Amino acid sequence: MVIATPKRIKQIKFGLISPKEFRKMSVTRVITADTYDDDGFPIEMGLMDTKLGVIDPGLRCKTCGGRAGECPGHFGHIELVAPVIHVGFAKLIRKILRATCRKCGALLLEPNQKKKYLEQIKTLRKMGQPIEDIVNEVFKEARKAGTCTYCGEVQQEIKFEKPTTYIENEHKLMPTDIRSRLEKITDEDIEVIGMDPQNARPEWIVLTVLPVPPVTMRPSITLESGQRSEDDLTHKLVDIIRINQRFQENREAGAPQLIIEDLWELLQYHVTTFIDNAVSGVPPARHRSGRPLKTLSQRLKGKEGRFRGSLSGKRVNFSARTVISPDPNLRIFEVGVPLEVAKELTITMNVTPRNLDEVKEYVRRGPDNHPGANYIVRADGRRVKITESNSKELADLVELGWKVDRQIKDGDVVLFNRQPSLHRMSIMAHEIKVLPHKTFRLNPAVCPPYNADFDGDEMNLHVPQTEEARAEAKILMHVQENILSPRFGGPIIGGIHDHISGLFLLTNSKEKINKNDALELLRKSEIRELLEPAGMVDHEPYWTGKQIFSQILPGGLNLQFKAEICEQCEVCKGVDCENDAYVVIRDGILERGTIDEKAIGAFKSVILDKLIKEFNSDIACRFIDDATRLSIRGIMHSGFSFGIDDEYIPPEAQSQIDEVMTQAQDKVEKLISAYLAGELEQLPGRTLTETLEMEIMKELSKARDSTGDIAGRHLGMDNSAVIMARSGARGSMLNLTQMAACVGQQAVRGERIKRGYAGRTLSHFEKGDLGAQAHGFVRASYKSGLSPTEYFFHAIGGREGLVDTAVRTSQSGYLQRRLVNALQDLEVQFDGSVRDTRKMIIQFKYGEDGINPMNSDFSKPEAVRRIIDSVVGVKE
C-alpha cells in the first residue's frame, strides 16, 4: 500500500497579472451583457457562459466537463475599449508619474543614487523586512528633480484628483497617456521603486483587459417565484459590458470628444466600483433596492470577509452544541454526552485483523443500538448507510481495508469548548460518558477555566477524527494536564460555591459522625476502610468531619497554611487558632484547621498546588473528584440554605445602625456648612468642592463599613451568608452588609451622582442641596427596601456597571486579538531561544531562565529549601 504524503504548499508568490496572461487564462471573451436566454439557458459569450463553469445541477462545464460542484470555474475576459486605472493603485500611479520623466520615462535619480537605493532594497528583502520606507524615500527624492538628467526634459507638476484623475498643466492625462508613460520605464528603474519587473510591470496597473470571475464565484440564486436573482458581481459586470459596448459604438460612429470622455469616465466608474465599492469620493454603486453592492474588496474585508471569516475560521463536522448542566459525580475530565448526540457523532475505524470482530459487532448493532455504527466505507470508497434492516448483512460483509463510522462511546476523547475562547484552557479534552437527557454534563470544578455557569450556557464538543489528533488531545489537552494555568503557575481548576461551603461545614464542626453517616458521606469516593474512630458515644464509634476529609487526602501529604477564614490577627497563634483557621495536614491527615477556599478553591487551592507539584496530576485529579463528591454529600449532611430571614438583624443592632447613620448624616451636614461658610480646609492640589466631595465620600463609606461591622457582629457563623462569605464560597461581607444593613453610596465614575436637573439630581430635592440623600446615598438595606429616590440612584449606579462591562468586553477582545496576532508565530526552539518565522531571535533564553511559567514555583527559593530539607532530613 502506498501512503501518499499530503503535498505541502511551499510558498505563494504575489504579483500583477499582465493583459497577455489575462487573455491566456481566459476561456472565453465575454461580449454580451445578457445572462440567460428565454429558455433559461446560459447565453454563449455571455456572463453565465457554461465555459466559465456551471452552477446549475445537470449542466456540464464546456471547458472541463465537470458537473456543478466538480468544476472549480474558469475565468473569462472583457476587452476594454479604452484602458482604465485600477483604483487600488491610483496613489502608486501618482507617485510613479511624479518620479519619472514625462518624455523618456527614466526614474529621476542619479545613477549612483539608484544603485544605492537598489542595494538597500535588496538587503531589506533578504532580511524579510518591509521596504516601504526606502521606496517612499526614492519617490520623495525623485520628485524633487526639475529636469530629466537623461533627456533634459523639463518636468511638469502633476495634480492628482481623487479617485482616478491626473492633471498635468491643466491638461487631463487620459489612461492611455499614463499607460504609454509607464511602458517607457526600464526594468532597472522598476526595481528601484520596489516593484518586480518580472511579475509587476507598472503599465499592468492600467487595465486594458478585465478578467471575468468564474460563475462559481458569483452564483445566481433562483427565488421561489422562479425568478433568477444575480450576484452583485454579475450586476457590476453587466454594467461594465454595457458601457464598454456603448463606448465602442460611439467611438466607431465618431462621436464628439466630449461624449467619448464622458463614457470613458463612466467605464472608469464601473470598473472602479467593481474592484472596490467603498472608495472615498466615488458614490457607491447600488442595487435596485438601494443597498450598496458587495464587490471584490468588500468580499475580502472585515470580520465576515473572506480572510477573517472564511479562511482563518473554518466550519467543521463532527461537532455538537447544547446547554450545559452540572454533575458533581462525574470525574473532572469526563463530560456527560446525551445519548442522541452520541448516536450522531462518529469515529472512523479502519478495519484491521486486530479489530475485525469489534468492528463487526458495532456494525451489527446498527445505528439505533448505542454504541453502534452509522456508515461503512467499502474498499472502493463507496459509502453505505447502515440501517436497522441491513446491519446484520453488512456486519458479515465487513472486510479488511474497509472503514466503519462507529458511534462515540464512554471513554472516547473529545474536545470540549466554551466561547469566548480566551485562553488555551477554553478548549480541553474530556472523556465521554454517555448519559440520558439532553444536556452536556460536567463537573462544576472545571467551570473556572471555561468561565462557565449553568444559567443557560451552551458549549461545543468536537470529535477528533484521526489517531494523531486523539493522541495529541489526550496527551496535551486533557483536563488533567491543564489543572495548572500557564498564566501564573497555580491551579485553575478547583472547588467552587458548594464545594467550599460543604467542606467548610464538614471540617469546621465538632459534630460526631456515626458509622452510617460516615459511610454515606464517603459513598461516592473510592474508600475501602475508615480510619480509627475518634472515640465512642453510647458504645458506638464516631468520627469527626476532619477525619472524613482526611480520607480523601493522599498519604505523605504535609502542609501548613492559614485558611481563608484567617482573621489576620497581629500575632498568629498558629496551631492554637481559636477560629480553627490554621490548617495542619500531616501525612495525609487533617489534624487542625478548616478546609475552605484557600484549601480547595479554584485559583487559590494550596492543597491542589502541592498535590500537582509534588505528587502528580493523577493524584490531584482524583483529589478534586473526591472533594467534589464529598463536599456535595457534606453539604447535604447538615443542610444549607439561605433566605430572607438570614438577613434579619435584631432590633438593638438596628438601633445601633440607625445611630451610626444619624451621626454620619450629621457629620456630612457639618462638612457642608463648613464648606458653605468657606471654613473647609482645602486638600493640596484639590479645589474646595473636590475636597468636600472627597470628605463626604470618605465619611459615608466609613459609616457604611461600620454598619457592616455591626451587622457582622450580630450575624454569626451560624448564618449561611456569613459562612459563604467567610469561607470564600460565594459573596462577600460587603454583599451581606448591603442586604442587611445599608446599601451605601451609589457612584458614577467614582463620584457621587451629580447629573440630572439643573442644580439638583432629582426634582425631589432642593436646588443646591449637597446632602448625602440628594446625591445617591442609599441609607436603606435591600431587606428593608429602598425609597423611590434611592431606588432610582441605585439604578443609575447599576447602569454604569452594565455599560462598563459592555465596553470592556469589546476593548479587551481587541487587545487580545492584537496580542495573539503579534505573538502567534513565536516558538521555543530546541536551543531554548524564542524566535519568529524569520528565525529572528526574540529571546535568547525563554523568560531569561528557560523555565516554564506553569512550573515557575520551582525557581523560587522554597523549592531549593525543600530539596535541602529533604536531603539533610533524610540523612540525620
Partner 1 sequence: MSVDQKAIDEVVSNLQLPPKVIGNLKRELKDAKITKKQLDEIIKRTTAIYDYSRIEAGEAAGVVSAQSIGEPGTQMTMRTFHYAGVAEINVTLGLPRLIEIVDARKNPSTPMMTIFLEKDYAFDRDRARELAWKIEATYITVLGSMSTDITEMKVIIELNKKAVLQRNMSVKEIADKLADELGIRSEISGDTLTMRPEEPSYRQLLQLVKNVQSVILKGIKGIKRVVIRKEESSEYVLYTEGSALKEVLAIDGVDATRTRTNNINEIFEVMGIEAARSALIHEATETLREQGLTVDVRHIMLVADIMTVDGEVKPIGRHGISGEKASVLARAAFEVTVNHLLDSGISGDVDELRGVTENVIVGQPIKLGTGNVKLIAKKVK
Query: Residue 204 or residue 765: which is nearer to partner 1 going by CB?
Result: 204
Burial of 661 per CB tally in 10 Å (0-12, 13-18, 19+): buried
CB of 813 to partner 1, least distance (A): 8
Query: Residue 176 or residue 824: which is nearer to partner 1 going by CB?
Result: 824
CB of 482 to partner 1, least distance (A): 12
**Whole-number Å distance between alpha carbons of 649 and 656:** 11
CA distances from 69 to 35, 47, 51, 63, 220 (A): 20, 19, 15, 14, 14
With beta carbons less than 8 A apart as the criterion, state whether 635 and 502 touch: yes
Q: Which of 787, 795, 790, 703 lies closest to 741, judged by CA?
A: 703
Burial of 20 per CB tally in 10 Å (0-12, 13-18, 19+): exposed
Query: Residue 221 or residue 840: which is nearer to partner 1 going by CB?
Result: 840
CB of 473 to partner 1, least distance (A): 11
CB of 185 to partner 1, least distance (A): 13
Q: Which of 578, 606, 593 lies closest to 508, judged by CA?
A: 593
Query: Residue 201 or residue 667: which is nearer to partner 1 going by CB?
Result: 201
Query: Residue 154 or residue 694: which is nearer to partner 1 going by CB?
Result: 694
CB of 866 to partner 1, least distance (A): 9
**Whole-number Å distance between alpha carbons of 734 and 645:** 18
Q: Which of 694, 673, 672 lies closest to 684, judged by CA?
A: 694
Contacts of 313 (CB under 8 A, 6+ apart): none
Query: Residue 771 or residue 853: which is nearer to partner 1 going by CB?
Result: 853
Query: Residue 288 or residue 314: which is nearer to partner 1 going by CB?
Result: 314
In single-letter form, the type of residue at position 598 comes to: K
CB of 843 to partner 1, least distance (A): 5
CB of 70 to partner 1, least distance (A): 19
Query: Residue 12 or residue 253: which is nearer to partner 1 going by CB?
Result: 12
Q: Which of 579, 451, 448 lies closest to 507, judged by CA?
A: 579
- Mapping DSSP to helix (H, G, I), strand (E, B) and coil, where does residue 415 land? strand
Long-range contacts of 353-360 (CB under 8 A, 24+ apart): 353/400, 356/398, 356/400, 359/398, 359/404, 359/406, 360/395, 360/396, 360/398
**Whole-number Å distance between alpha carbons of 816 and 447:** 21
Largest CA distance in the chain: 121
CB of 276 to partner 1, least distance (A): 7
Q: Is the dihedral of CA 409, 411, 415, 416 positive or negative?
A: positive
Contacts of 373 (CB under 8 A, 6+ apart): 346, 359, 362, 363, 365, 366, 367, 386, 404, 405, 406, 407
Query: Residue 167 or residue 469: which is nearer to partner 1 going by CB?
Result: 469
Query: Residue 758 or residue 872: which is nearer to partner 1 going by CB?
Result: 872
Query: Residue 179 or residue 343: which is nearer to partner 1 going by CB?
Result: 179
Query: Residue 397 or residue 871: which is nearer to partner 1 going by CB?
Result: 871
Phi-psi region of 561 (alpha: psi -120 to 50; beta: other; left: phi over 0): beta
CB of 872 to partner 1, least distance (A): 6
**Whole-number Å distance between alpha carbons of 520 and 137:** 81
CB of 371 to partner 1, least distance (A): 29
CB of 447 to partner 1, least distance (A): 15
- Mapping DSSP to helix (H, G, I), strand (E, B) and coil, where does residue 843 land? strand
CB of 228 to partner 1, least distance (A): 30
First to last CA, the chain: 65
Query: Residue 198 or residue 763: which is nearer to partner 1 going by CB?
Result: 198
CB of 269 to partner 1, least distance (A): 19
Long-range contacts of 328-331 (CB under 8 A, 24+ apart): 328/443, 328/444, 328/445, 328/499, 328/628, 328/629, 328/631, 328/632, 329/524, 329/629, 330/433, 330/441, 330/442, 330/443, 331/431, 331/443, 331/621, 331/625
